[in-house]
Amino acid sequence: MLNKSKTAMLLVFFLLSSYILPTTVADESEASMSLMFDQQDGLHVDGILNLTGDSTFPLTSVEIHVWNISKPDQWDSVHSSPFLDSVVPYSDESSDSTMWSWQHSFELSSVDCTCYVEISVMEYTDLKSFGVVVYVGDEHHRPVLRPSVSKPVHETYSTQIFNSNTFEIDYNVLLPTEQEDSFPSTSINILSNVRICPASFGICLENYSSIDASHVLIDNELRMIVDVDANLISDGFYQLQVQVQDDALRLSNNVTQFIVIDQTMPAVQLNAIDAVDEADSIVVDINVDDGYVGSTFVITWSITQPDGTPRAVLDTEILDDSRLEFNPTKSGNYIVNALVRDLGGHLVVVSHNVSVSNIAPNAVLRYDGFLVENGTEITIPKSGDWVFSANESTDTSNDQATLSYYWFVDGKALLSGKSYLSSSDIQTPDYREIRVEVVDDDAQSANISFNVRQQTESAQTFSDSSLSFGITLFFALSVAVVVLMRQRSSSEGTSGFVKWTERGKEPKN
């Protein structure tokens, strides 16, 4: 019987969910916008329905409707009006603000129903409404079930999350006046019917199935208690539907609530390489499995650096919800930490160690544009300017700017902090060996050591003279060869020998 007309029942529930909160605004964020009824839910009237109340806003554009909700799947219009009978502004001394007192009456002498009276505010984009349940006449009265008014509005209409083996949901039950008069509230027997269906994507993926539930009813406050383990309910998203039946077997409306059952901790695993070089980035993937479709979780990343200092990750280092990438700036042991929190509030902490190895710098030395190799001998002038430059030395990108340079002459430290050594830096007249040491921030170094031979001034003059003599000799020889060749050519052209011709070769006549 309860499975009939599910679509219509859901429609009625959503309408009731929006409208059955008496004396409160539909949206907590609009706390200043409130309309109150002087009458309580469950009012019993016969003939004339007279409603009064107060409002925190001017009721210039409202509509009032009377809806017949006598059956669980019924929502029929009985009466309506595009305005209220009277609206009178007044000053509220307690709040020092302007309020509006309102009044409206309906003639319902020919009506017997469980009705819902709704006042809708039409001047806002989001339709806001306020209402009260009224039992009219003597027939067609039934219980009305609604979310508990003791809970905040945002909890009433949001998905509730439960992480234990039992969960409780509170409701308010309105009973027809004649039933309350006949039985004390402590002796009223309420039958509850609780149904559940998987709803991973906000809609039921299967038909509703009934589950066992106990309840406690005290002063119209109904508390439903469900044992998750006893009902074999696994973790997941569900749509819960609750309906009650009174002693006269009259059914209430259905109240639907989305819930999440999450009893188990998520399984979390970090995947990353165990060792990298200082120049390489570290990519960490995290896999989280909470055991049901639609589960979500929050990951908080942190990195413990080699010196033990923790740091938060940058937004640019988070590639997506489950991947982290960062570049280590120092060698040593890094610890990547992930704190995972699932919908049930369970916390899991996982870590992964990554060893970062330093790369030693590469020393490069040049003299007069030429590359100086380790162990070579370089001839330099004893007097004059010269420069040895190591500024082409390289290291990883994070160490390049912090390279340090140390220069040694004949095994003794000469200077540091400069990537070049010039002739003016050495005051000693005679020296034989020069060494440069390039050091990174991890104290790893590269060295180039070479011997130098200082060229004396006389040797340099002799060398220059030899070069000039060689050039002059080469030029003289070249001129002599040219002259000789010209003479030979001329002597062949002016020779005194007679050239003989052979006779008797002409044809005879």
Q: Which residues contact 42 (CB under 8 A, 6 or more apart)?
A: 133, 134, 135, 144, 174, 175, 177
Q: Is pLDDT of 197 > 60? A: yes
Which is it for the CA torsion 174, 178, 179, 183, positive or negative?
positive
Q: Is pLDDT of 464 > 70? A: no
Q: What pLDDT sits at residue 68? A: 96
Residue 501 lies in a domain: no
Whether 90 and 11 share a structural domain: yes
d(CA 191, CA 40): 24
Percentage of the chain exceeding pLDDT 70:
82
What distance lies between CA 377 and its chain's CA centroid? 60
Among candidate residues 196, 178, 239, 244, the one with its CA nearest the CA of residue 217: 244
Buried-exposed string 207-227: b where 16+ CB fall within 10 A, e elsewhere: ebeebebebebeebebebebe
- Burial of 79: CB neighbours in 10 Å, binned 0-12, 13-18, 19+: middle
pLDDT band at 313 (very low <50, low <70, confident <90, very high): very high
Residue 465 three-state SS: helix
Q: What pLDDT sits at residue 491? A: 58
Q: What pLDDT sits at residue 473? A: 75
CB-CB contact of 404 with 439 (8 Å): yes
Q: What pLDDT sits at residue 9? A: 36
pLDDT digits (tens, 9 = 90+) for 448-458: 999 998 876 55
Q: Count the neighbouring beta carbons within 10 Å of the beta carbon of residue 154.
A: 10
Q: Count the neighbouring beta carbons within 10 Å of the beta carbon of residue 72.
A: 20
pLDDT digits (tens, 9 = 90+) for 162-192: 999 999 999 999 988 765 555 454 456 789 9
Q: Is pLDDT of 441 > 70? A: yes
Provide the domain limits for residue 445.
366-455
Whether 112 and 43 share a structural domain: yes
pLDDT digits (tens, 9 = 90+) for 402-419: 899 999 999 999 998 899
Write down the mean pLDDT value for the chain.
83
Whether 68 and 122 share a structural domain: yes
Q: Is pLDDT of 30 > 50? A: no
Residue 12 lies in a domain: yes
Whether 77 and 114 share a structural domain: yes
Whether 349 and 381 share a structural domain: no
pLDDT digits (tens, 9 = 90+) for 479-488: 777 777 777 7
Residue 493 lies in a domain: no
Name which residue leads in pLDDT, 158 or 293. Answer: 293
Helix, strand, coil content of the chain in percent (nearest 5): 15, 45, 40
What distance lies between CA 107 and its chain's CA centroid? 58
Residue 104 lies in a domain: yes
d(CA 20, CA 41): 9
Whether 157 and 212 share a structural domain: yes
Q: Which two tokens stand for residue 398?
A: 């994070």
Q: What integer is the mean pLDDT of 52-80?
A: 92
- Distances 476 to 76, 189, 472, 485 between C-alpha atoms, Å: 127, 136, 6, 15
Q: What pLDDT sits at residue 469? A: 64
pLDDT digits (tens, 9 = 90+) for 204-225: 999 999 999 999 988 888 999 9
Q: Is pLDDT of 6 > 50? A: no
Residue 164 lies in a domain: yes
Q: Is pLDDT of 18 > 70? A: no
Q: Is pLDDT of 494 > 80? A: no
Q: Is pLDDT of 394 > 60? A: yes
pLDDT digits (tens, 9 = 90+) for 108-162: 999 999 999 999 988 765 667 899 999 999 999 999 998 887 766 555 567 899 9
Question: What domain count does the chain have?
Answer: 5
Q: What pLDDT sits at residue 11? A: 33
